[in-house]
Amino acid sequence: MSDQRRWQQLRNEWRGNPRLRYGALVIAAILGLQGLFLLSDQVHKRMVAHADDLEMLARLEGMRKESWWPERAQKAAELLEAVIARIPEVAGRGMAQAESQAWLTRLAAEQQVGDAAVKVEDTVDVEGYPDMWQVISRLEGTLPNRGHEAFMRALAEALPWVQVERIEIAEGDAPRVVVTFRSYYRKAVAVTGASPQAPDSRGDAPTHPDAADLAR
């Protein structure tokens, strides 16, 4: 059958079959409604995105007009300097290890850690901070009965120069504790003859009489 005859047959069926025409119109209506729904969803999404952009722009404009930004920036800079100033300064890698050893030894004594064992790793550079060193160390031992709270408080007060990398505390009246520390130190700009200082377990920075001996 030729294409012309097929086309003529389809036209005759279309004209002579009302159900076919009705079904085709229903299908066209459904497709049209789906297209409108999709278009409506896209328009709604764009309207929501535009409203969000306008709200963000209004917030940024309001922040731009605020006058307290320079003051807040200055306070943030002062706070950062104060935090950095609490990090002890050392004259060499060996001194950093010695300071870490001394602090952990005193921490164990103050917190009455039984069978305390302190291990200090090598001093390494801090990535992204060329003026800083870090020392990885570990303290093992047993806490006294009801000594959890005081021990955890001492660790928190050592921030920011000492950070707990990992801690394990067993159960019982004299629980076994294993703590891994990461201690940070500032590299001394110049050796002045005064012994570098490191904070005690309460976050202060007294001189360690035994730090120099440990460094040697």
pLDDT tens digit sequence for 132-147: 999 999 999 999 988 8
The pLDDT, as a whole number, for residue 2 is: 67
Domain identity same for 190 and 95: yes
Does residue 71 sit within a domain?
no
Domain identity same for 98 and 26: no
The better pLDDT of the pair 72, 107 is held by 107
Does residue 44 sit within a domain?
yes
Domain identity same for 11 and 58: yes
Domain identity same for 111 and 207: yes
pLDDT digits (tens, 9 = 90+) for 176-191: 999 999 999 999 876 4
Q: Where is the domain boundary, 16, 47, 62?
A: 62
Provide the domain count of the chain.
2
Domain identity same for 104 and 187: yes
Domain identity same for 45 and 103: no
Q: Residue 55: which domain range?
A: 3-62
Domain identity same for 16 and 120: no
Domain identity same for 50 and 111: no
Domain identity same for 142 and 209: yes
Give yes or no for a contact between 136 and 162, defined as CB atoms under 8 angstroms apart: no
Q: Where is the domain boundary, 62, 77, 105?
A: 62
Does residue 68 sit within a domain?
no
pLDDT above 70 covers what percent of the chain? 83
pLDDT above 90 covers what percent of the chain? 31
Domain identity same for 129 and 174: yes
The domain that holds 190 is classified in CATH as 3.30.70.60
Q: Where is the domain boundary, 27, 43, 62?
A: 62
The pLDDT, as a whole number, for residue 204 is: 45
Domain identity same for 104 and 18: no
pLDDT digits (tens, 9 = 90+) for 86-133: 788 899 999 999 999 999 999 999 999 999 999 999 899 998 888 899
